[in-house]
Amino acid sequence: MKLALHWKILIGMVFGLVFGFVMKNLEMKGIVVDWIKPFGTIFINLLKMIAVPLIVVSLIVGLSDLKDISKLSKLGGRTVVLYLVTTVTAVSIGLVLANLIKPGEYINDESRKSLLENFAGDAAKKIELAASAKNQGPLQPLVDVVPENFFLAMTDNASMLKVILFVILIGIGLILIDENKAKPVVDFFKGLNEVILKIIDIIMLFSPIGVFALMAALMVEIPDFSTLNALGIYALTVVLGLIIMTFVIYPTMLIVLAKYSPVKFFRAIAPAQLLAFSTSSSAATLPVTMERVIENVGVDEEVASFVLPLGATVNMDGTSLYQAVAAIFIAQAMGIPLDLQTQLMIIVTATLASIGSAAVPSAGMVMLVIVLGQAGIPEAGLALIFAIDRPLDMCRTVVNVTSDAVVSTVVAKSVGKLNPINTEV
């Protein structure tokens, strides 16, 4: 019997966790770090390696298929609105949960002191990283989208928006020029697109081993569980919010807006979700998200190639929800009252901060510094949540990726580009 890919990945993850746990207890961390972890790094690098070529080629192919500029603006408009709506919904859910559960009140003086002391250094590093983002003018994000040099932008995975902008211009150019002149260019990219999708298949053959290595390394490297006890309620609050997004909000969107069965949807994108969990990076997961959404969900390539790369960079529901809960938690734990106005401001800042977060591990925590600063919460409070950030990063990245896939499905349905792969509810 041939095992489905998500089962293979899941088995790799479980074995990795168990193996890491055993090695940690046998005091053999070094072996895992030296001999196992590199395979995880190789796997992530392979995925990142293919991400930029995939975005460039599939976006060119997708846009040239649109044949009409007005279709592009329709697609763009719907995508941006849905991304904003889902993010604001996520932040609001986070705020409500944090106010109801009050996770900050469960942390006693002793654990607060020890966390603040133990993680002060780590927190200072993140605060420093956030400083450069903070010192820029209000229009800087707009300036950042326009590349000075396209090839330079292509060499930097963090410059995905710049690449997208330039490629959209190529796509528009191809739509506007004479069809006979455009055809050879489009045909070339169509062929290249097939090659890249094949490469992703090949990389994914390696995925069970890759996630095994990632999980084993994670297990030996995360801080001791004993420091995590005090943070349990906080972590549960974040996870509860993420569960509500995943199992209530997204299925509702799928059923109501796309007439798509959530069960089939989750089955189709499960490998992408598992990879998001193992890598904590929406950018590294993007190639697999695109492949699954196109081939298994049935979203047309011209929609997926536009909506998904954009989403990986700007749409982070999990991150924004986490930022809201974390901000309230830190304020509660440090005894800082937050009035309604400040809380409403958090909706705006967490939405913007999640848009600004890069799609890489722990980026959401760096941008949280900005949310804290705006709300008048001491940034040093970051030390309180440091110990548990990695596992939460894994969970929020799953939601970030799921949200992109859901929005692409809804947008595809709305423009008649959802292909039937047994999709009816």
Taking the complex as a whole, how short is the minimal distance between the CB of residue 364 and ligand ASP, in angstroms? 2
Residue number with the smallest Cβ distance to ligand ASP: 364
Fill in the amino acid letter for 274.
L
Tokens 């005894």, residue located: 335
Distance from CA of residue 252 to its chain's centroid? 21
Residues that bind ligand ASP (CB under 6 A): 280-282, 316, 319, 357, 359-364, 393, 396-397, 400
Concatenating the DSSP letter of every residue in 323-389 gives HHHHHHHHHHHTT----HHHHHHHHHHHHHHHHHS-SSTTHHHHHHHHHHHHTT--GGGHHHHGGGH
Residue 147 φ/ψ, nearest 5 degrees: -75, 145
Instruction: Assess contact for 410 and 307: CB atoms under 8 A.
Output: no
CA distance 418 to 150: 32
Minimum distance from residue 58 beta carbon to ligand ASP (Å):
20
What's the full length of the chain, in residues?
A: 425
Report, in Å, the least distance between residue 392 CB and ligand ASP. Answer: 9
Query: Minimum distance between the CB of residue 286 and ligand ASP, rounded to whole angstroms?
Result: 10
By beta-carbon proximity to ligand ASP, the closer residue of 159 and 397 is: 397
* Residue whose CB is less far from ligand ASP, 90 or 258: 90
Output 88 or 336, the one with its CB closest to ligand ASP: 88
For ligand ASP, the closer of residues 237 and 362 by Cβ is: 362
To the nearest whole angstrom, how small is the minimum distance from the Cβ of residue 242 to ligand ASP?
11
Q: What is the dihedral of CA 37, 40, 42, 46, to 10 degrees?
A: -170
**160 or 412: CB nearest ligand ASP:** 160
The nearest distance, CB 389 to ligand ASP, in angstroms, is 8
- CB 33, min distance to ligand ASP, A: 22
Q: Which is nearer to ligand ASP, 92 or 357 (CB)?
A: 357
Nearer to ligand ASP, 193 or 237 (CB): 237
Please give the Cα distance from 325 to 328 (Å, whole number): 5
Cβ(215)–Cβ(44) below 8 Å: no
What's the closest the beta carbon of residue 399 comes to ligand ASP, in angstroms? 9
Question: Any alpha helices (H) in 146-299, and if so which ranges?
Answer: 150-154, 160-176, 179-205, 207-221, 232-244, 250-258, 262-279, 282-292
In the complex, least distance from residue 279 CB atom to ligand ASP, rounded to whole angstroms: 8
Structure tokens at 273: 């979700």
Cβ closer to ligand ASP: 396 or 413? 396
Angle (CA) 130-353-374 rounded to 5° is 75
**What are residue 139's phi and psi, to 5 degrees?**
-95, 5
Tokens of 138: 């209000």
CA distance 6 to 288: 12
Q: Specify the residue, 23 or 284, whose C-beta has the smaller distance to ligand ASP.
A: 284
Cα separation, 294 vs 213, in Å, equals 28
Q: How far is the CB of 359 from ligand ASP (least distance, A)?
A: 4
Local structure of 142: helix, strand or coil: helix
Of 102 and 390, the one with the shorter C-beta distance to ligand ASP is 390
Instruction: Classify residue 294 by its DSSP letter.
Output: I
